[in-house]
Structure 1
Amino acid sequence: MSRHLHPDNKETPTSATSNDSSNLDIFGVLDRRLLDRRQFFKLSIGTLASLTTFFLVRGGAADIGPGATMNQLSTGIRSPSPGANIGFVSVAANVNPMRDAVTVPHGYRVSVLISWGDSLTLAPHWDTLGAIDEATQLHCYGAHTDGMHFFPFSDGSGPRSDRGLLVANHEYCDPALVNNIVPAGAYATNAITLDMVRAQQAAHGVSVVEIARDGGAWVVKRDSRYNRRITGNTPCRISGPAAGHVLMRTNADPSGTTVMGTLNNCAHGHTPWGTYLTCEENWNGYFGANGPFTETKHERRYGVTAKGFGYRWHEADPRFDLNSPGNRNEPNRFGWVVEIDPWNPDSTPIKRTALGRFKHEGAWVVLGGDNRVAVYMGDDERNEYIYKFVCKNKYTPDNPAANRNLLDEGTLYVARFNADGTGDWLPLVWDQNGLTPANGFADQGEVLIKCRQAADRVGATMMDRPEWVAVHPRSLEVYVTLTNNNRRGSIPSSHNDPEGTSAAGSAKPPVDRANPRPDNVYGHIIRWREQGGRVDATRFDWDVFVLCGDKNNHKTFSASSSRDNLAGISSTDPEFSRKIYAGNIDGDDYGAPDGLWFDKDGRLWIQTDHSTGLATGDYGNIGTNQMLCADPATGRTRRFLTAPPGSEVTGVVTTPDGRTMFVGIQHPGEDWATSHTQLSAWPDNQANGPTTFTGTVPAKPRSTVVVITKNDGGVIGT
């Protein structure tokens, strides 16, 4: 039922916004010259490597000659191999008939840690036979678990691997599950009340949960003073250059410094000073308008509309009604990175506006060798951008108080990927590069509030939905998932307007070097290395790590897309359709890469989120969503986990010793229509062991965090 509440930009392009600026997609550059081989800087712990030449395929003639394949796309940066091997045997894809369970390799075991509605206190768990109300949800784990991090307790010998705080995002909710409505379609027409909306808002946000290993099992410490819910109505402080800005003020908050709640919390980050970063993604979908409404160009650029995504909150809660007096700026108060101190349950979450406002997927913090701090971020929308924030001041390990506001001062950059395999970080600084009052930017606060328009103006590269960021623990190479873009290469091509006036959802950019495949429904992963190995560098070297796909696909190439490509496939090749969608994965196939994380040994863990989560259509061979493990040096990839039908795999972290892994399974059974368990009854079907459910027949599927260990007690992945 709820897929339309979670725009994926994959199969339903009109349900989400996209970037329509006229920024060069480096297509014109490629017209002017073919690309030469280039050398990357030598890593201090790696080896020198050259990049295979890329060529433009146009007009039916392949410039690179017969036999060319997409294997030529990913030979640039040579990452170090993991410090320990990838030793497990791949699990089979979860294809029809789909198993309603989480499956892991032989020699591993998986169990349920915590699910939506499980109590974080000594109060009762939610009884899933009925609706969940606000009061119950406020002491229970939230819905649709997403990004997460494990903060270990420490003792005299260092960080512990048997006790810590699990901090997890709750991206969104399925209103019909929250409010116990059947069939799914009835939610659109049933009367909606403020109590219903409050329960949904309480299902969003973040959970802080103390967990510990008790004997051989992990348990939630329900009596912990650290356990906490942060929701869509928790007061948050606004800090940084946009705090108090005229565009941040409402009748309810004339100072523009306090906002109620954080919403659509997707991926995350964590800081060296021990705080958690939660990122607001598809926040625009909660807003709507009662009565006539005309979007401004600023609202159109961010996808703010009269109807939203169908939550209908605006019908009962005036804060989300764009026509409510003095409320038009309320959307500007969402779309930020929010910093939370998990160790202080009385602390106030802080929206750090210096990091820019967009649809934040994640915020990965990197500490350089000189203690300079950078934060890498993706804007999860078709044709949006990749960003980096560099703090003005350095991290001070011995002075925690000096680090508390590091994220309030610094420089925000946006990436331009050049055709020669280099890249530039373009500063988004007021009164520079066209970010002037004459172009609609009165000050730095307005640059950050209108971050997308600022990136349009300076000429950043439009990307195929930038999602999670992961940084190699030794080389500091940065990897980003580009989930997909079915408009890449569409005919006729169109671009974003640097004036920020384009209607959302209309861009159809041609292929470019960083986004080389038309109708990119399976997505890819890109990576780069900062020049000089400095996190504050303004130039970088990059390549495509992998193009995802199905080697056994039988797709027909979209007639609405151009066959021009940078994947080395002739447009007249009789097998063009199969080859363009095959990808170049060395190992198990997957598509729609989303979650991304490096473990301490340098294994790259990849999680997927294709739109239905079912083994149907484009994913009939690939199966349900999954988690894979890749060697960044060789690209060799093995499937580690498959998920229940209709779910997304999102969020992964291990204990410091690497012997316990926590993985999030979001929205099992999504897109049910006639009954809550029509597509999945997981986890209360007990397929992966006991849950808190005490009934006989599962009532609802529930988003869940699972625990994975090796039977021999070894490190996960070996």
Structure 2
Amino acid sequence: MAKDFDTMEDSNRSANPSIHEVSDPARRTVLRGGVGLTVGALLGPVAACRQVPAAPPSPLGFESVPVSTADTVVVPPGYTAQVIAPWGDPVGLAGAMPAFRPDAGNTADEQAVQMGMHHDGMHYFALDGSDRGLLVMNHEYVDDGLLHPDGTANWSAEKVRKGQAAHGVSVIEVARDGDRWNVVRPSRYARRISTLTPVAVSGPAAGHPLMRTAADPSGRRVLGTLNNCASGITPWGTYLTGEENFILYFNGPDRPDAHAARWGVTRRGVGMRWAEHDERFDAVRHPNEPNRFGWIVEIDPMDPTSTPVKRTALGRAAHEGATVAVTRDGRAVVYSGEDAQFEYVYKFVSRDRIAPGGAAANRTLLDHGTLYAARFDADGRGRWLPLVAGEGPLTPQAGFADQGEVVVKTRQASDLLGATKMDRPEWIAVDASTGEVYCSLTNNSKRGAPGQPGVDAANPRARNVWGQVIRWKEDGDFDGTTFTWSHFVLAGAPEHGGTVRGDLFASPDGLWIDPRGVLWIQTDNSSSTGTYGNNMMLAADPATGEVRRFLTGPRQCEVTGVTSTPDLRTLFVNIQHPGESPVAARNEPAWPSLHSRWPDGGRPRSATVVVRRHDGGVVGT
């Protein structure tokens, strides 16, 4: 999501050490494969006696593309990029396929059956191998200056409903026809899930007093999901979507109580303006409504009649997404990062093993297990701290009467346990073959500012606008409670302290490890000028640290969301908010944008790009 980094949420006032306080300033990152080694004592005797194997041939077999400021998508020689499924195209519901109006004049009801705005995380679910499948994707937020013909002028209930309908998740069917891919319309799988869709609540917060409202006294059924950012998939065939910066949608009191303040609920002069015409987003009148957002939502894409479920056992946070690993004994482990300055990294370990039989056999698997927050220690070691009511300081006297209260107040519980404050942890990628877990720390413009944590080896730059990627490996298995950590790369140019080996980039955001073990990195830099140009997607070899730029997007976009067909011959990449400024969706005037007219020469539209090699070979080799 495009962000004004100086005004984004920063509500962690706990005294916990931030990651910079647990690192030795003399320590620097060295990339040598495995989980990475560091100079000095980061890995202690383990690093000292480790044999470094000879570097294998690079898996990056493409010619890198240059930095770009062009209003187009650029891919390497020998590749082609095709645009499909832009915002406003019909998803393919039979009998409900309104065309996109170039003047953005579609109604709220029409938007409810069209592709949402601002494509983000996504996954390809195969129906017929690598030739036909479902693309399930998030729509993170909206830019009201583009969504309506007259922008934010003449604000109305209809504009609020249209914005709500443009949020959420789309399920579309796609099929390959020779070298091109098409959206299948109509499709029995086609579906839109938005802020207006009924969603069930499960797990320890279901029915909890903190989840009850006048509209839902049971506390078990929420209207909608919003600000859906990164995504994940489960081994049983479902889709996980994270509700990220949900708090920006609520108008709060001038003087919030401690709970509301910790979550950033306050009176807002700018924002989505939904509270003006939908009172549930007025947290003064409905103080529990914000508690009903910030969850991981599970969706069964194969059953268009199924109800999405908010899995509260995974904790409430500004969730970027959720990435699933599997222990050797068959239990699910869900990693998630919280995209806010100085917030936390989480892990959930299921109590039960994954059952054969797909989604139907695992409908409650994510409702039972243990939630943890990460602590990164000074010696290169780390520990997962259990967020369990009644254990340690999480007592009724401290405000945690039961597990429902712990998961609703996940941030406060993590504060109390002493978890490590991080610099906007976003996407997480797991390499199942090596056991390594990667997390993008996109940036933190408040690092080193007056009254804020300072700099050191882990966060070595004040006003850090470049970001980094950290990685760790659990001791034993993915359910381990301790781990070893280091940095994979510090982004940015060498003169800014960067350690990039290859093509430069800044503000890492989206991460994905393909079946070959290549780490794909997508960027969310707020500028389309200077050293880094437009946002991009790069491929990195974890064994050597080599990075090559594979794709650049159009002006003012974010490159986010990547998935592939099983044969790796088709790559799907999302282009979000082309032509948008860093303060999008906040009382902007109407289009035209001065920045972009991608993809079709008119009003800029988020869309999916299909990348293939001319010879039909494996992408990236």
TM-score category (smaller protein): over 0.9
1:390 aligns with 2:349: yes
Deviations 1:130-186 (A, max 9, x none): 3232111111111000000000015xxxxx00000000000000112112225xxxx
Counterpart check, 1:510 vs 2:413: no
Among candidates 199, 214, 220, match of residue 251 of structure 1: 214
Cα distance between partner residues in 2 of 1:49 and 1:180: 51
2:584 corresponds to:
none
Aligned to 1:568: none
What letter is aligned with 1:191?
N
The match for 1:151 is: 125
Taking a change above 3 Å as real, the CA distance of residues 631 and 24 of structure 1, as seen in their structure-2 partners, is same
The Cα of 1:26 is off from its aligned counterpart by: 6.3
- In 2, Cα distance between equivalents of 1:81 and 1:234: 51
1:295 & 1:47 partners in 2: Cα distance? 47
Provide closer, same or farther for how the CA distance between residues 429 and 417 of structure 1 changes in structure 2, counting only shifts above 3 A: same
Quote how far apart the aligned CAs of 1:21 are: 1.1
The within-5 A match list for 1:4-23 is 6=1, 8=3, 10=5, 13-23=6-16
Mark the runs of 5 or more structure 1 residues left unpaired by the alignment.
1-5, 41-45, 56-72, 155-159, 493-507, 552-577, 686-697
Give runs of aligned pairs for residues 7-86 of structure 1, distance below 5 A.
Answer: 8=3, 10=5, 13-25=6-18, 50-53=37-40, 85-86=59-60
Matched, 1:637 2:542: no
1:681 is the counterpart of 2:597? yes
Worse-superposed segment, 363-372 or 121-130: 121-130
Output the CA distance in 1 between the equivalents of 2:493 and 2:564. Answer: 30
Work out whether residues 34 and 543 of structure 2, in 8 Å CA contact, stay in contact via their aligned partners in 1: no
Q: Structure 1 residues 286, 28: CA separation in 2 closer, same or farther (over 3 Å shift)? A: closer
Work out which of the residue numbers 601, 607, 612 in structure 1 matches 2:516.
601
1:523 matches 2:452: no
Q: Distance in 1 between matches of 2:51 and 2:275?
A: 49
Report the number of matched residues: 607
Change (3 A) 1:93 1:362: same
Q: Which residue of 2 aligns with 1:137?
A: 111
CA 1:51–1:197 in structure 2 vs 1: closer, same or farther (change >3 Å)? same
Contact 1:235 1:258 in 2 (8 A): yes
Matched, 1:536 2:495: no
Structure-2 residue corresponding to 1:181 = 150
Q: What does residue range 470-489 of structure 1 map to in structure 2 within 5 Å?
A: 470-489=429-448
| CA gap 1:30/1:318 in 2 versus in 1, 3 angstroms | closer
Cα distance change, pair 591–28 in 1 and its aligned pair in 2 (3 A)? closer
Partner of 1:708, secondary structure, is: strand
CA root-mean-square deviation: 2.6
Q: Give 2:585's aligned residue.
A: none
Paired residue for 1:220?
Answer: 183
- CA offset at residue 430 of structure 1? 0.6
Give 3-state SS (helix, strand or coil) of 2:7's partner: helix
- Checking the alignment, whether the CA contact within 8 Å between 2:23 and 2:379 is kept in structure 1 is no
Q: Could you list the runs of 5+ residues in structure 2 that have no partner in the other structure?
A: 582-587
CA drift of 1:241 comes to 0.1
In the alignment, residue 52 of structure 1 is paired with which amino acid?
V
Asked if the contact 1:417–1:423 (Cα under 8 Å) also holds between the matched residues in 2, the reply is yes
Matched with 1:232 is 195
Give 1:408's aligned residue: 367
Distance, in Å, in 1 between the alignment partners of 2:358 and 2:126 is: 20
Q: In the alignment, residue 141 of structure 2 is paired with which amino acid? A: Y
* Partners of 1:628 and 1:77 in 2: CA distance: 29
Inter-partner Cα distance in structure 2 for 1:545 and 1:269 = 22
Q: Is residue 260 of structure 1 aligned with residue 175 of structure 2?
A: no
- 3-state SS in 1 of match to 2:131: strand
Matched, 1:446 2:446: no
Residues 27, 524 of structure 1: alpha-carbon distance in 2 compared, 3 angstrom cutoff: closer
Asked if 1:646 is matched to 2:617, the reply is: no
> Aligned partner of 1:231: which letter?
S
TM-score normalised to the size of structure 1?
0.81
Instruction: Tell me which of 74, 80, 86 is aligned to 1:115.
Output: 86
Instruction: Give deviations 1:297-338, integer Å, cap 9, x for gaps.
Output: 2111111122274211111111112233xx210000000000
Q: 1:408 to 1:542 in 2, by over 3 A?
A: same
Q: Secondary structure at the match of 2:593?
A: coil
In structure 1, the partner of 2:162 is: 199
Offset, 1:382? 0.7
Residue 501 of structure 1 corresponds to which residue in structure 2?
A: none
AA at the equivalent of 1:322: A
Between stretches 473-482 and 99-108, larger displacement belongs to 473-482
In structure 2, C-alpha distance between the alignment counterparts of 1:80 and 1:334, rounded to whole Å: 48
Amino acid in the other structure paired with 1:645 = R
Deviation at 1:410, TM superposition (A): 0.3
Q: Deviations over 1:340-376 (max 9, x none)?
A: 0000000000000000001000100011222121000
Query: What are the within-5 Å matches in structure 2 for residues 267-666 of structure 1?
Result: 267-288=230-251, 293-307=254-268, 309-324=270-285, 327-398=286-357, 401-492=360-451, 508-511=452-455, 514-532=458-476, 534-551=477-494, 578=495, 581-612=496-527, 614-615=528-529, 620-666=530-576
Question: Alpha carbons of 1:137 and 1:630: their partners in 2 closer, same or farther (altered >3 Å)?
Answer: same
CA distance in 1, matches of 2:29, 2:442: 27
State whether residues 285 and 309 of structure 1, in contact with CA within 8 Å, keep that contact through their aligned partners in structure 2: no
Alignment partners' CA distance in 2, 1:450 and 1:410: 17
Do the aligned residues in 1 keep the contact of 2:213 with 2:219 (CA within 8 Å)?
yes
User: Equivalent residue for 2:613?
Assistant: 710
Judge conservation of contact 2:168–2:193 (CA < 8 Å) in 1.
yes
Deviations 1:190-217 (A, max 9, x none): 3321111000000000000010012321
d(CA) in 1 for partners of 2:570 and 2:28? 45
SS of the residue 1:717 aligns to = coil
TM-score by length of 2: 0.93
Separation of aligned partners in 1, 2:86 and 2:437: 32
Shift of 1:19: 1.7
Query: Quick one: structure 1 residues 165 and 48, their matched pair in 2 at CA, closer, same or farther if it must change by over 3 Å?
Result: closer
Identity of paired residues, percent?
52
Give distance in 2, aligned partners of 1:322 and 1:375: 30
Q: For 1:692-703, list aligned pairs within 5 A.
A: 698=602, 700-703=603-606
Shift of 1:702: 0.1
- Runs of 4+ residues over 6 Å off in structure 1: 33-38, 46-49, 75-84
CA distance in 2, matches of 1:404, 1:645: 42
* 1:175 to 1:302, Cα distance in 2 relative to 1, 3 A: same
Q: Is the 8 A contact 2:37 2:486 kept in 1?
A: no
Distance in 1 (CA, whole Å) between partners of 2:590 and 2:116 is 24
For 1:105, the equivalent position in structure 2 comes to: 76
Secondary structure at the aligned position of 2:412 is classed as: helix
Query: How far did 1:126 drift?
Result: 1.4
Q: Which amino acid aligns with 1:609?
A: D
What SS class does the counterpart of residue 237 from structure 2 fall into? coil
1:87 pairs with 2:61: yes
Q: Is this contact kept in 1: 2:19–2:421, CA < 8 A? A: no
Code of the aligned partner of 1:350: V
Answering whether residue 138 of structure 2 is matched by residue 169 of structure 1, we say yes
Taking a change above 3 Å as real, the CA distance of residues 596 and 36 of structure 1, as seen in their structure-2 partners, is closer
Distance 1:7 1:708 in 2: 24
| Letter paired with 2:523 | T
Are 2:335 and 2:346, in contact at CA under 8 Å, matched by a contact in 1?
Answer: yes
Q: Distance in 1 between matches of 2:523 and 2:590?
A: 26
The amino acid of 1:485's aligned partner reads N
How many Å apart are 1:402 and its aligned residue? 3.3
Tell me how far apart the structure 2 counterparts of residues 172 and 30 of structure 1 sit (CA, whole Å): 36
Deviation digits for residues 520-559 of structure 1 (CA, Å, limit 9, x no counterpart): 2100000011111x111000111100000124xxxxxxxx
Q: Cα distance, 1:83 vs. partner?
A: 9.1
